Amino acid sequence: MASKRSKIAFAGTQEQEQSLRRLMDRLKEQPGALMPVLQGAQEIYGYLPLEVMEIISVGMDVPLEEIYGVATFYSQFSLNPKGQYRISVCLGTACYVKGAGDVYERLREKLGIAGGECTPDGKFSLDACRCIGACGLAPVMTVNDEVYGRLVADDVEGILAKYGA
């Protein structure tokens, strides 16, 4: 269970926990409440660390394994925090055939993290995504709202340097 966990320590606040508890109190008796509670928890914390899943497990009286199973099954949930700069590489077909896999590999190598993870300083997170509708610019990656297209792996270093890597 721990292999994809972030190296960043959990730093939830009292206010966040109170919001989560209020949400659980409101939804607890409703059928199918786990999904909206997990969605709400991710909105409150930005991601679903183990500590939050434990609070939900106790609060909703649902085994932790079940919560972990749901959180890892649906791609809308993230078990790791996002970085200040959220990097996303499109691995859709058009991008993939034009070498997006090499770009993604180079990013993993340069940042020292796997896909879905965040650097220990909280600066960069890396994800793969599906087609973002910019196939004419393939291969494409985004950093927050900035789009970079027609990439080759050797562009990676220069782009990261713009963000202080």
Q: Which residue is nearest to ligand FES (CB)?
A: 92
Contact 103, 141 (CB under 8 A): yes
Site string for ligand FES, 57-96 (x = CB under 6 A): ---------------------------------x-xxxx-
Site string for ligand FES, 102-131 (x = CB under 6 A): -----------------------------x
Task: State in angstroms the smallest separation of the CB of 153 from ligand FES.
Answer: 16
- Please work out the total of residues on this chain that contact ligand FES, with binding judged by CB under 6 A: 12
Contact 5, 80 (CB under 8 A): yes
- Which stretch of DSSP H or E encloses residue 89? strand 85-90
Per-residue 3-state assignment (H helix, E strand, C coil) for 7-31: CCCCCCCHHHHHHHHHHHHHHCCCC
Pick from 34, 107, 118, 138 the residue near ligand FES by CB under 6 A: 138
User: First vs last Cα of the chain: how many Å apart?
Assistant: 30
Residue 132: which residues within 8 A CB-CB, separation 6 or more? 88, 90, 92, 140, 142, 147
Tell me whether residue 33 or residue 132 sits nearer to ligand FES (CB atom): 132
Pick from 33, 64, 70, 134 the residue near ligand FES by CB under 6 A: 134
- Indicate whether 135 belongs to the interface with ligand FES (CB under 6 A): yes
CA dist., res. 152 & res. 140, Å (int): 10
- Indicate whether 97 belongs to the interface with ligand FES (CB under 6 A): no
Chain residues binding ligand FES by CB under 6 A are 90, 92-95, 131-135, 138, 140
